[in-house]
């Protein structure tokens, strides 16, 4: 079917594991990286906390109800970045074809590897062992002939898992896979899938390409291929930054015009700083609003001029804000991002799966 050998490495409970590694008093205890105040969210949860149902992106108040003994630890992003760099040094001993998805996970193409190891599973096992011995952390790994299956394999036996999906096993494996486990099928899409009678890999494979495109657009082609074990995307050693953004969550919901404009100004200023530090230039501005009931909307505008000055971004942000009815729907969060760099449009590349490089202004959301 293919001669490629792809590994997906995913650090287990990365932020929380680093905190437990560096502080012996936290080991074996339920901890959450994030802030515990009313508007805080869990950025990462230890496996001890997960047994209570605590998950990342969960509101802190809900997490504390599920686990009264939950210990909140402020995030140390500089430390996590340094540990991520050390992990990648290990990766580079085997291949330079590495595609990072975030600080704690990456794809590796080891079809031709530096050590001449024949089996990709042996490379994955060695990488896991070195991460444990050299960094005192635990990783899970998935091995297969494409990115889609390698990613799913790495999630199969967490924590400290190692799973290989061989080409001869792929179709049977996919057939029994719940539709929610397919990469890119979130809650909204899975609900639509269920309404169409699509519940697993088998029922997805029974759908025609025309039917999937009619209901899911271009993504329908991806789902059609995935159901057949097809994913031709290469492991990209260099990922193009597609956007820069920031957002802030308020301690209290706001609905007064003056308050909203003031907060929008602060977010726009923060965005400008991030654009300058990353030397990023784009021509699409997106406003993100999360209301008091957690309903979320986005509004975007694209112009030919690059958005690199506050007196360009702020008026456009205010223009987008006029499209939002917040008088009767108090605002919980405001975010702004600039995207679509003119120099690197890269349209269609990786399609649905292109990673957006958002950097958030704080841990609370």
Are the C-beta atoms of residues 63 and 70 closer than 8 Å to each other?
yes
354 has catalytic annotation: no
Residue 225 contacts residue 231 (beta carbons within 8 Å)? yes
Closest CA to 127 of 159, 83, 161, 90: 90
Cα separation values, 82 from 86, 87, 89, 98, 164, Å: 6, 9, 11, 17, 29
Rounded distance between C-alpha atoms, residue 265 and residue 316, angstroms: 11
Neighbours of 71 (CB within 10 A): 17
CB–CB of 140/146 below 8 Å?
A: no
**Both tokens assigned to 301:** 């505008």
Name the DSSP class of 181: G
Question: Are 25 and 37 spatial neighbours (Cβ–Cβ below 8 Å)?
Answer: no
Per annotation, catalytic residue among 19, 48, 99, 105: 105
Provide the CB-side half-sphere exposure for 324 (13 A, CA): 29
As annotated, the active-site residues are 105
């Amino acid at each position: 079917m293919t001669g490629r050998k792809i590994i997906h490495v995913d650090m287990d409970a990365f932020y929380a594991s680093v905190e437990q590694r560096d502080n012996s008093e936290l080991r074996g205890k339920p901890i959450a990286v994030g802030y515990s105040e009313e508007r805080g969210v869990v950025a990462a949860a230890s496996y001890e906390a997960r047994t209570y149902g605590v998950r990342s992106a969960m509101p802190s108040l809900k997490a504390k109800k599920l686990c009264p003994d939950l210990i909140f630890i402020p995030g140390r992003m500089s430390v996590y970045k340094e540990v991520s760099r050390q992990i990648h040094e290990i990766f580079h001993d085997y291949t330079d074809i590495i595609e990072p998805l975030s600080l704690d996970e990456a794809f590796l193409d080891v079809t031709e590897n530096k050590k001449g190891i024949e089996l990709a599973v042996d490379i994955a096992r060695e990488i896991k062992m070195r991460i444990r011995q050299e960094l005192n952390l635990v990783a899970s790994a998935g091995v297969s002939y494409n990115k889609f299956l390698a990613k799913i394999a790495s999630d199969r036996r967490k924590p400290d898992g190692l799973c290989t999906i061989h080409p001869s096993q792929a179709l049977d494996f996919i057939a029994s896979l719940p539709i929610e486990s397919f990469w890119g099928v979130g809650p909204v899409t899975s609900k639509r899938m269920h309404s169409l009678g699509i519940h697993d890999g088998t029922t997805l494979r029974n759908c025609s390409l025309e039917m999937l495109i009619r209901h899911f657009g271009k993504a329908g082609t991806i789902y059609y291929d995935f159901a057949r074990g097809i994913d031709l995307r290469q492991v990209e050693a260099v990922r193009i930054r597609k956007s820069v953004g920031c957002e802030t969550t308020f301690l209290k919901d706001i609905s007064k015009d003056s308050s909203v404009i003031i907060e929008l100004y602060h977010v726009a200023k923060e965005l400008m700083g991030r654009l300058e530090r990353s030397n990023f230039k784009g021509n699409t501005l997106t406003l993100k609003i999360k209301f008091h009931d957690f309903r979320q909307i986005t509004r975007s505008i694209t112009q030919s001029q690059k958005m690199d000055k506050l007196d360009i971004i702020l008026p456009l942000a205010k223009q987008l804000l006029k499209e939002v009815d917040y008088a009767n729907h108090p605002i919980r969060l405001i975010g702004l991002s600039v995207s679509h760099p003119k120099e690197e449009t890269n349209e269609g590349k990786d399609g649905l799966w292109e990673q957006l490089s958002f950097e958030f202004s704080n841990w609370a959301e």
